[in-house]
Amino acid sequence: MIVAGNWKMYAGPDPRELADRLASVSGVEVVVCPPFTGLAACVQAGLATYAQNVHWEREGAYTGEVSAPMLLGIGAAGSLVGHSERRQYFGETDEGVARRAAAALAAGLDVIACVGETLAEREAGETEEVLRRQVSVLEAHARLVVAYEPVWAIGTGLTATPETAQDAHAFIKSLLDVPVLYGGSVKPDNAVELMVQPDVDGALVGGASLQVESFAAICEAAAAAA
């Protein structure tokens, strides 16, 4: 089981307090994805720390970006790529996501690559078509994890039913043999029913990862479901 907390553009909880709280949780790989300003503090607190984005070049004139060697240099262990908010607000494409993932993996970072459909795409019956397109650009790797995040369930309070999540995860795994996390309004009260599904290998947690107790409760739910 893997539980990753995506703090987005929030300061997030105190890293040392969080590390202390998670010390008693076993059987779960816990990852935090703070904003760039929080990476060093999370690493120093002993948390497995991922960036929220990474560029495909090692260096260059790419204002606002960060490279895999830079992340490795401060002790980061991995990075998210292709989060729906990067796709929606910053024009990320499937090709760009593939390049970021490949470069990060080649450099030695772990990668969580995000995929998922919008509400309009789901209502049009295009979920599998969208997932196939997004997953097809990725290549299986020992350090690659996919996160299925239905865009209509991110920050909306809506959550895919366990059955809906299971169906999507099984489809993704039929395309690519890697662990698949569920992301989309994961909370302590729905974590167990999601993570007991046979093809759900953990969670990518947004808002609930900003508070120590709610995030710890999800990690404990994952441990119970493992």
* Per-residue DSSP letter, 112: E
**Strand pairing partners for 33?**
6
Contact (CB, 8 A) for 57 and 103? yes
**Residues tagged active-site:** 83, 149
Compute how many other C-beta atoms are within 10 angstroms of the C-beta atom of residue 140.
Answer: 10
182: nearest Cα among 215, 222, 143, 213: 222
